[in-house]
A and B are shown apart, each in its own frame.
Chain A
């Protein structure tokens, strides 16, 4: 599906001088309807600009180095491979880029691996246009969305590690601060980020950055595990 060549995917009429002021958004999505809907929604927002559109993994990997990105929306189930590779590449190429995984259900089986690969949140595919814009702005501002299911899953990992067992902590476990744990507990009971922030007497954006920090820990855990595995298999020296 090369009906959207790389050059055509550049924002039409987007001048380089305007670019820093607007949030540069990329989408990796194989379904043409969804892709067009996303493009339509983004065009409709004056502060957003669509600078990358890809429908396949290889295409996305090829386009990534050509254009700096602020926010990238990635679908995991691409026809020629996993979107997780795209997420990793995007984070490596543009460390400041906020990646959102695009998912139908927002279930932890899809979201958690994406977060471990470097994503900073998820975007439900049936989101309305305002919700889409809100999530893009939020992730660009340093916040991350979280669902109760994901929050609960992260808590169980942290709880496992907190158990007083002398055995080395599982590689997937993470250490949470008291505040982070409180945030996750409230979210897992169904409270929204706004309600959670109110309950903890913090601002909404602070609550969202807490979530971002928790996600970063998941990535650290994964990275540490990857290095450990590499050492074990003699892939790394020193």
Chain B
């Protein structure tokens, strides 16, 4: 599958890019190294060594004169460089307070071998103590830290003359004051022009400490980023563990990277941190690896953390055991821890089939031989000019960490995208369902409307035309219906039908359109009966409730009222008018000049059934009907509400 091929090829590309980047960085240093060709620098591979009993820690402003005398006074041993004075692990308990062992290395520069203004380049030195360098009788360098915080891993790069072109000194003296019994070591040395030597110096400074400090600072920065991620994503423990690893690693590499500056920590605390941070770091790596390969080994996890915590507590300054006395035990424990972490990691990753876990654990396994090598280097069993390998192993390890986190990060982004896409698909599905159910509802609603309309029409046919035709039929059957009556009944039926049709066609909210239809239909009938119709309608507010059914109610009410007038009032003129009130009610008046009927508020005599019909229709509309007597006639008023009845019909 495409995604698998993708994830497999990505780390490979990453590694290739990383390799090229490393080559490019090294390539910057290489030309500088090759450039120093002109006056061949002096490579000092031999020195004379003398011990100065009873000397103090502080380097004097000038070396004791006896040391500079050409031959007499001092018993010099000739030693080959690099030279190491062995560390005795079983040193006396009072060594920190005892006066130091002071060793003088004398490097003679044969006359004419070094040009003017030479530089002194010392690739490495190491001891628990301090170092000072003299050009002839002039002090040119002294380490300023403490015995432990002394910048031993930084190459020395010193101008041997005050003036840029001053004459070269005859002798270089290196004074090494060491804590009793810990020994010390000195590499070969170089004297030559700055131009000739700086390439070598820079490459070594880069390999020995600059690269390590840059890497450790970079990991610390990424660690802070990881920590920030973890702060908001507490379930992603990997990010927190990366941060912890970066911090412990920085603490661990501190003593490789510090220069010639005053100590930040008391020696005891600094030593404690330096030694124990290795254990802390390994614990972090172990927890990280377990979360990568995913196999739960809680007993191992707890055991490792317990051992590390126990070691740290046992060696806590001013409280636990003296660090120096248990140092071999601590380092052996660290080796055991490293072996355990590496082996269980490899085993679990193979079982779980996690490539990342396997790569991580195998690389971590490298830290066992590297650690052993570093331990030998630290105890001067390996030539002092070698480089500590531990930091390089951890740089590789951090790179693997980063690849793992990168894959998780990218994977998380991808799964978010996938989830979003799925969400969109589901959303679209839900939208379709909603649209379908809405359409269904609409269809139901339409059906309901149609049913209601059909029912209404049925009712109208039944009560209106149907019953008129039936009564006409009955009268005809009994021979009581004259031809004129027959025509009248049929005309009434047609009128009924026309009004029903008009109500069906009614649209909008304007009452006047309903009244116009009424006039259009009934005016011929009124005129035929000799009634003059005055049309006095004015515009009225729209009635939102005026649907076809309400329109038909209004038409029927007025039809009935007009039919009554025709039959009973004996009027000659009719006026139809409209008006409205302040509260939005709409009024329809029908005036006639016929004989006044019963007193105010009472319906005129006549069709009981017809009037009941009027009242029930008015009630359905939420309207009110009233009849009153006016001067010279009668007035019918239909008052329609601004808001329709709650349940019209």
Contacts and interface: CB of A to CB of B under 8 A. Distances in A.
A190 B501 contact: no
A19 B505 CA distance: 42
Most chain A CB within 10 A, of B513, B516, B524, is at B516
A187 B519 CA distance: 11
B535 interface: yes
A180 to B, nearest CB: 18
Contacts of A106: 520
Most chain B CB within 10 A, of A108, A131, A190, is at A190
Contact of A190 (B494, B498, B505, B515): B515
Interface in A73-119: 104-109
A173 interface: no
Given A147-B520, A148-B520, A152-B513, A190 B502 contact: no
B524 A131 contact: yes
Interface in B506-522: 512-513, 515-520
A109 B535 contact: no
Given A107-B501, A149-B502, A152-B513, A190 B535 contact: yes
Most chain A CB within 10 A, of B491, B497, B519, B539, is at B519
Contacts of B520: 106, 147-149, 190
Contact of B505 (A108, A192, A195): A108
Interface residues of B, number: 21
A9 to B, nearest CB: 28
Interface residues of A, number: 20
Question: DSSP majority for the A interface?
Answer: loop
B516 A109 contact: no
B535 A126 contact: no
B537 interface: yes
A204 to B, nearest CB: 16
A131 B520 CA distance: 14
A103 B519 CA distance: 18
Interface string B508-549: 000011011111100110001000000101010000000000
B517 A148 contact: yes
A109 B539 CA distance: 26
Contact of A188 (B494, B516, B528): B516
Contacts of A187: 516
A82 B528 CA distance: 34
Nearest to B502: A149
Contact of A148 (B494, B498, B513, B528): B513
B513 A188 contact: yes
Nearest to B528: A128
Contacts of A192: 523, 535
A88 B537 CA distance: 39
A191 B513 CA distance: 11
Contacts of B513: 148-149, 152, 188-189
Interface string B183-222: 0000000000000000000000000000000000000000
A190 to B, nearest CB: 3
22 contacts: A105-B497, A105-B498, A106-B520, A107-B505, A109-B505, A128-B524, A128-B528, A148-B513, A148-B516, A148-B519, A149-B516, A152-B513, A187-B516, A188-B513, A188-B516, A189-B516, A189-B539, A190-B517, A190-B519, A190-B520, A191-B535, A192-B523
7 closest Cβ contacts across the A-B interface?
A190-B516, A148-B516, A190-B519, A189-B512, A105-B501, A190-B515, A148-B520
Interface of B: 491, 494, 497-498, 501-502, 505, 512-513, 515-520, 523-524, 528, 535, 537, 539
